[in-house]
């Protein structure tokens, strides 16, 4: 695990975009693993800029998102489908994008289909991650075991509270999500995790210096052979 600490959150986001850019330049058909949430926005803005400046061509890339809320239609204003269209997909020239279908009739089948699609695409070359306040990656919440395949997860109260900011009221926040498992994340050939702001400092410390512990699902990244952690000073404050 390589850890970089930057002065600002913008620098951390730019560094992540540069790692993605380097990957795409050396492998134009890169399979990208993508995340949603506030942390990803700066990196996506930089990828859009690099595309507009003629540096990055996404036409041969494929993407797989980590997660989606159960029960939300693709075009729901709070769905991760919608987030990705607005923050990235509609602003670059990518054609082949995948987000789990949170409103699939048979959710179990959807989890299996999603893992199959990733495998058929040749696996994820580079995975973007944020981290939850409780150390979750994707929507893999603290547990007694590390999750493996794509699965339906129940969101913890702390995650519901953290995501409330995107919804009108707490009742509107879905209680379940479909998420790539930690096993699926660990199969990515390269992982780039960005954490910014003091609210992430405890989770970052537990991930980097604590025990390998499924109560902090991100701690498993310590045994991944190629993980880069990009922090701003606030997120690194407790290291
Ligand atoms: C979202 C996801 C989550 C977020 C994490 C941080 O697709 O996988 O693990 O990365 O909850 O969210 P933000 O960036 O909003 O603090």
Q: What is the pLDDT of residues 75-133, one digit of tens each?
A: 999 999 999 999 999 999 999 999 999 999 999 999 999 999 999 999 999 999 999 99
**Ligand 1 centroid vs 231 CA: distance in angstroms?**
14
Answer whether 99's CB lies under 8 Å from 66's CB: no
Distant-in-sequence contacts of 166-174, Cβ < 8 A, 24+ apart: 166/78, 167/78, 172/78, 174/69, 174/70, 174/71, 174/72, 174/102
Segment 158-167 mean pLDDT: 88
Any idea how long the chain is? 239
pLDDT at residue 16, as a whole number: 98
* CA 85/CA 193 separation, integer angstroms: 21
* CA 179/CA 156 separation, integer angstroms: 14
Nearest-atom number in ligand 1 for the CA of 163 is 15
**Ligand 1 centroid vs 19 CA: distance in angstroms?**
19
Max CA separation in the chain (angstroms): 47
pLDDT at residue 100, as a whole number: 97
Answer whether 130's CB lies under 8 Å from 165's CB: no
Dihedral sign from CA coordinates of 187, 188, 189, 191: negative
**Weakest mean pLDDT among 14-23, 83-92, 161-170, 188-197:** 161-170
Could you tell me the two tokens for 75? 């075009």
Listed residue (221, 227, 196) closest to 6, CA to CA: 196
pLDDT at residue 162, as a whole number: 86
Using one digit for the tens of pLDDT, what is the confidence trace for 134-152?
A: 999 999 999 999 999 999 9
pLDDT at residue 35, as a whole number: 98
On average, the pLDDT of the chain sits at 96
Question: Would the pLDDT of 165 be above 90?
Answer: no
pLDDT at residue 127, as a whole number: 98
H-assigned helices in the chain: 9-26, 38-52, 80-87, 107-120, 157-163, 182-186, 201-209
pLDDT at residue 118, as a whole number: 98
Q: What does residue 24 show for φ and ψ, rounded to 5 degrees?
A: -70, -35
Overall pTM > 0.85: yes
Question: Would the pLDDT of 211 be above 90?
Answer: yes
* CA 152/CA 154 separation, integer angstroms: 7
Nearest-atom number in ligand 1 for the CA of 136 is 9
Segment 52-76 mean pLDDT: 96
Could you tell me the two tokens for 54? 């003629």
Q: Which of 36, 127, 159 to mutate to test the pocket of ligand 1 (most atoms within 8 A of CB)?
A: 36
């Amino acid at each position: 695990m390589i850890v970089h600490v930057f002065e600002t959150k913008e620098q951390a986001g730019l560094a992540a975009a540069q790692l993605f850019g380097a990957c795409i330049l050396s492998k134009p058909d890169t399979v990208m693993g993508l995340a949603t949430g506030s942390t990803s926005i700066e990196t996506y803005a930089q990828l859009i800029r690099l595309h507009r400046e003629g540096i990055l061509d996404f036409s041969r890339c494929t993407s797989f998102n980590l997660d989606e809320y159960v029960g939300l239609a693709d075009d729901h204003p709070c769905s991760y489908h919608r987030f990705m269209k607005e923050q990235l997909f509609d602003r670059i020239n990518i054609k082949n994008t995948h987000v789990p279908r949170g409103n699939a009739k048979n959710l179990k089948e959807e989890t299996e289909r999603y893992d199959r699609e990733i495998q058929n695409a040749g696996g994820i070359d580079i995975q973007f991650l944020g981290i939850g306040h409780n150390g979750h990656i994707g929507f893999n919440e603290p547990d007694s075991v590390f999750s493996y395949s794509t699965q339906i997860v129940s969101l913890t109260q702390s995650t519901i509270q953290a995501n409330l900011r995107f919804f009108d009221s707490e009742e509107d926040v879905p209680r379940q999500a479909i998420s790539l498992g930690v096993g699926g994340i660990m199969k990515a050939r390269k992982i780039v995790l960005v954490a910014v702001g003091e609210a992430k400092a405890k989770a970052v410390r537990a991930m980097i210096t604590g025990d390998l512990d499924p109560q902090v699902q991100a701690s498993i990244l310590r045994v991944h052979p190629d993980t880069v952690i990009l922090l701003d000073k606030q997120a690194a404050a407790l290291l």
